[in-house]
Structure 1
Amino acid sequence: MGEIPHLNRPSSGPGPGRYSLPPTVGFVNHDYTRFTSPVYSFHHRLGNVYLKDSSPGPCYYVEPQVTRFGRSGGPSYSMLARSKPTGQPWTPGPGMYSPERAPPLTQQRSPSFSMGSRTKYRQVDPVPAPNSYTLPSLLGPRVPSKSSSPGFTVSGLNKRGGYSEDLSQTPGPCRYNSTDPNIYRRRRPAFSMLGRPGTPKVTFKTPGPGTHSPERVTVHRTRAPAYSLGIRHSEFVAPLIVDTPQ
């Protein structure tokens, strides 16, 4: 039989207190596997101008007769100084009104408006405006509560180790000059462009087609044909018969 290990033998590994997990509270060194909760900040305390507390504090003495329902004692009076008499009110009399100038109640009229005085501005609020707050940028991997998009950076072109590095240091195809095909093939026809020829100079005046008159030529006939216009005869005149039959 093999040797049975002792159950009470202490373990040589570290205990649970030796391990430390990242905190889930706060923003610094937050556990990246957990979502962060909303973060709020406390604003500074406002001045006494807007926080007027007229209630007595614990350091003030409250009379026993004063209760939450009022004073529990009998009525009491105090003597004050005589107030100044108010002036006569400037109330208009019946003669100040002109009912005849008022339009009839059943008649429609356009609305009328009056210009009042400009209202006073309220006091400047020391609370910062909405555009004073800045939210963290959503670009980059620095926002733990938002999933960031992939980011890329463009660096300069490195000559060493790049795709354009010439390791063999040999000339490319464009470094060689092509041979003229007329050297090792049948020579192609060649043409040259000459200047434009000049206009031929006329040594004699050649007559045109309108100068000739073929009807007047008498080389192959006795004379040129001639025509004359006679008088107009009536249609009812009998024709002249010269040659009569025998």
Structure 2
Amino acid sequence: ELNLLHHFHHCPPPPPPPPLSLSGPGPGRYALPPTVGYINHDFTKPSSPAYSFHGPVSADSSPGPRYHIDAKVTRFGRMETPSYSILGRGRRTGSKVELFQTPGPGAYSPEKAPPLNAHRRPPSYTIGARTRYRSVDAVPAPNSYSLPNLLGCQVPNKSSSASYSISSRRKVGAPSEDLSMSPGPGKYNSTNPDIYRQRQPSFTMQGQTKRPSYSSAIPGPGTYSPEKFHMHLPKPPSFTLGVRHSEFVTPLVVDVAD
């Protein structure tokens, strides 16, 4: 411990720290553009929308709801039906009685106007006078000419179509020729099927019976008794009625109580 104290006693003290250097400018020396407002705003920073408040107005300069817009005016324009007006009566000419002489539709002749602006005119025709009958140089009628027939190949300088002729039916080599000479179905005698098969019922038609002329011969509805006929039908039940007894007969008493 003494050696350590002796050692610290003889060590020299550390040198004091050097004073701080104030050669650099402080934060207030830098002039950066502001980020508030839009005048000289920093272009490296995004700017938010800026609003301004209007000062108080002493007098109300608004005219108020005094405008009157017509109902026919829409956002697409003016919507209304066509309107017409009646023109006054035309002026009279020299005399007071004669009115203004307006030409009628028949006074104009548009067909006589020359074509303008490359307008097309319809064709116009005229009807000539009847020609005189020439007795010396008579023109032959259409039936006076005799033209050659164009059917067939009689005209050498005219083209003719193909012509065909129909011949009679041939007996030899025709489709109807019977080469086997076999008899047809009508040549055989057919046997009656009732001979070798079960005979079918046959019916005959009787002549119409004559109805009697007098009415008493025809039986009426009461003549028949269909309820008595039960040969092929089941017989219905039958009942009988007994004899009616007197009300004053003494009843038969068998069991007597003592």
| Class of the TM-score when normalised by the shorter of the 2 chains | under 0.3
- TM (normalized to structure 1)? 0.27
Task: From the CA coordinates, give the structure whose radius of gyration is larger.
Answer: 2
More helix by share: 2
- TM (normalized to structure 2)? 0.26
Greater relative contact order (Cα < 8 A, sep 6+): 1
